[in-house]
Amino acid sequence: MQLLDGKKISQEIRNEIAAEVKKLKNKGKKVPHLAAILVGDDGASQAYVSSKVKSCQEVGFRSSLIKLKKDITQNELLTHINLLNNDDSIDGFIVQLPLPKHINEQKVLLCIAPEKDVDGFHPVNIGRMTLNIPCYIPATPKGILEILKRYKIETEGKHCVVIGRSNIVGLPISILLARKGYPGNCTVTLCHSKTENLKEETLRADIIIAALGKSEFLKANMVKKGAVVIDVGITRVEDETKKSGYRLSGDVDFDDVSKKAGYITPVPGGIGLMTVVSLLQNTLSAAKEEFYKKTLSFNVEEDF
């Protein structure tokens, strides 16, 4: 079994991004600038946003954190988003999810300008992703592709089973792995809470992506020998031995499955870290205007 080390790979990518930022500075260009909107005081959301902001600083990006009260109205939030859409000093921005219940998440995501949507959640970016047109790819699926690529894992013709069909992980990674190209060209089965005989599906998989949010759900008896197992899940599980009172647990029973898998990602130290660097990569692309100014002339023959 080989560990797919998100810590090592994400550090490699951070170094590459930091080197690019230096080059931009040396050429007298402005450094990439990411903004994040955080609504309310949810502990997990605060932790995710702080780690994104800290990562920006580490690679030399500018970052702005906009903290808004949890009882802000939807219209006030949309006004903040419009300000960011029209602020030329900001290359890309994210709105940390989940939002309070009185705010319509879809409306908010639709209001973000696609060319600044570095989370890749806007329908324009999802549509471009589906059609294999250059775009911002949602950070977690992008991180999964990157780790497969960096470990040179063969994907062509492989059977991939994705567990979970969320708009931010399961659905987009299914589309991406079925697309032409590398990593891709897989035969994909997308499983969810209504799937019958999930174990039958996972036992046929060469690659399993577990993104359902149930701690240690995937066991060795559900996995074919030598399979590639990607664990996306992050669940806080009570743990009195920890100062915080909890530990982070994945969707895969690591100790059990690692005896049978060919490759496996750990939690923590796997896809979570890859997700943060993917956001940085998208922000760098936004600053370099890679997708929305330069791709009008992209070559259809080459790209499809």
User: Residue 253 and residue 267: Cα distance in Å, rounded?
Assistant: 10
Closest distance between ligand NAD and the C-beta of residue 195, in Å? 6
Which one, 11 or 79, has the nearer CB to ligand NAD? 11
Beta-carbon contacts of residue 10 (< 8 Å; ≥ 6 apart): 273, 274, 276, 277
Which one, 51 or 85, has the nearer CB to ligand NAD? 51
Closest distance between ligand NAD and the C-beta of residue 219, in Å? 13
Binding residues (CB under 6 A) for ligand NAD: these are 140, 163-166, 168-170, 191-193, 195, 198, 211-214, 232-235, 271-272, 275
SS3 93: strand
Q: Which residues are catalytic?
A: 52, 96, 119
Closest distance between ligand NAD and the C-beta of residue 10, in Å? 11
Which one, 49 or 72, has the nearer CB to ligand NAD? 49
Between the CA atoms of 150, 152, 157 and 163, what dihedral angle is there, to the nearest 10 degrees?
-40
Closest distance between ligand NAD and the C-beta of residue 86, in Å? 29
Which one, 96 or 155, has the nearer CB to ligand NAD? 96
Phi-psi region of 199 (alpha: psi -120 to 50; beta: other; left: phi over 0): alpha
Beta-carbon contacts of residue 232 (< 8 Å; ≥ 6 apart): 140, 144, 164, 169, 209, 210, 211, 250, 251, 271
